[in-house]
Amino acid sequence: MASINYESKKNGWRLQFRDLKKRKRSIWLGDVRESEAQDTKEHVEHLLERVGKGRPPEKPTADWLDGAGKQYRNKLAKSGLVESTTQRVARDLTLSAWMDEYFAERTDAKTSTHGTYKRAKSKLLTHFGKQKRLRNITVADAKKWRVWVKTKSNERDKNTKACSEETTRRMTGIAKLLFNEAMERGLVESNPFKGLASTAMGNEKRKHFVKAEVIQACMEHCPCDDWKLILALCRFGGLRCPSELVALRWSDVDLPGGRMTINATKTEHHAAGGVRVCPIFPELRQYLESAWDNAPDDGTAVWVINRYRRPDQNLHETFKKILTRAGIQPWPRLFQNLRASRETELMARYPVKDVASWLGNSVPTAMKHYAMATDEAFQAASDPAGQTVSPSTTDDTAASGSSCGSISRISGAIRGTTAGTTEAVSSDESRHYIVKDGLGGYYLIGLAGLEPAT
């Protein structure tokens, strides 16, 4: 707490308080009105509270500091409450210097994240230049930059200068992050990128369902057994490539128990620590069993994937060569669409909550970035016989409609519903229900009423 006292001998007010180290501090305010002295006291108390928590002052106090004279500000700086005028000028950073400083601090970020930082930095500096002051970037500047990113900033594709909406949102998110952190440190007063769209929305144009037969055809053109296993783990196991592939040990694979433990560096910051248990699906089992049979018998076999463990190895280029030899046109996002294809067909057989936990993502993420509409599902929905078809099925259980699958389970429950009644026949944790009305129609009903099954 601070206090103010009027000293009649000097005809002025004095402010007294204890700093963060509990030392007594005194600042002579001079011959000012009592209300002005009281305002100063309240602002100093606010600074003591915020600085003690490692937070910048709120806007009223920040505005008050901006109006404070050089001498007065330097007095507060001696108490450790603000930067001195000299320090403040030194902290009036350029955009380039601030990005260098902040990105260097992020030692917690993964290599791939630093790659995204580097691309965002390039786009910001190309547009604003290296000498642009951080404080001088306005809301109008931010909007113009986003339009430029969307229409003219593509450096990867020689055939177009435009970037996708998803890339634009990702770059905008990095710009928001930079300025939010600058605000918290008192380097800028507001975030000019705050109102710009940055939430990931998924790029439907880059989704491609890879049928199992395509991967089976690729197996004949793989240069070694390790590559066959890589494709099998990605397409039939849904593993992330390369992070989850290179981390998989034989001690994580329980072939008799039909399960494997996956260590995901991408989600290691989550409550589960990035560790999940995934079934060994029938389509994958033959490849794991073959690799285990060919592993050394002397107990030295540690890693499931052995030849392609270096981070500098370009698996994408080798995969493209395999596709070329197989006479198959490469699709966008080669490995991610293998994982997405597996998740899509699993969601047609099993509850989506289970599938998301097996493959290591949340249900909203699975629906936004992985799930795809398939021709097989469309044909099944329009089939007068009411047959259910899972996309790219490779086993008899899936082809006939497993009773434990989400889509198959719903259809089975519908067929078992008593005619002429309205009752819930299937539910899950999202509290959606399939009901049959008296006219024989079926509907997906949730908390908000009738909803499409998406």
Q: Which fold has domain 210-367?
A: hpI Integrase; Chain A (1.10.443)
Helix (H) or strand (E) holding 292: helix 282-294
- 444 phi, psi to nearest 5 deg: -95, 115
Cβ–Cβ under 8 Å, residues 139 and 191: no
CATH 1.10.150.130 domain extents, the chain: 95-201
CATH class in words for 95-201 = mainly alpha
Give the C-alpha distances (Å, rounded to integers) separating 143 from 148, 182, 197, 379. Answer: 9, 19, 10, 44
> Please, are residues 90 and 96 in contact by the beta-carbon 8 Å criterion?
no
Give me 228's structure tokens: 């066959």
Per-residue pLDDT reduced to its tens digit, 1-50: 789 999 988 889 998 988 888 889 888 888 989 999 899 899 888 888 88
Round to whole Å and give the CA distance between 92 and 186: 10
Token pair of 230, please?
A: 């890589």
Evaluate whether 406 touches 348 at the Cβ level (below 8 Å): yes
For the stretch 360-396, pLDDT in tens is 988 888 888 788 888 877 787 777 776 555 555 444 3
Task: Please report where in the chains the tokens 């915020």 appear, as a residue.
Answer: 50
Query: Taken in order 197, 198, 204, 206, is the CA torsion positive or negative?
Result: positive
Percentage of the chain lying above the pLDDT 90 cut = 44
Sheet of strand 424-427: strand arrangement = 424-427, 433-436, 442-446, 449-450
Q: What is the pLDDT of residue 303?
A: 94
Pick from 247, 259, 236, 258: nearest CA to 339 = 236
Write out the two tokens for 238.
């849904």
pLDDT tens, residue by residue, 175-194: 999 999 998 887 888 999 99
Residue 249 DSSP code: B
Residue ranges of the chain assigned to CATH 1.10.443.10: 210-367
- The backbone region for 34, taken as left when phi is positive above 0, alpha when psi lies in -120 to 50, beta otherwise, is alpha
Under the banding of pLDDT at 50, 70 and 90, the label for residue 321 is: very high
Q: pLDDT confidence of 412, banded at 50, 70, 90?
A: very low
CA distances for 123 relative to 94, 129, 130, 188, 192, angstroms: 15, 10, 11, 21, 16
Position 159 scores a pLDDT of: 80
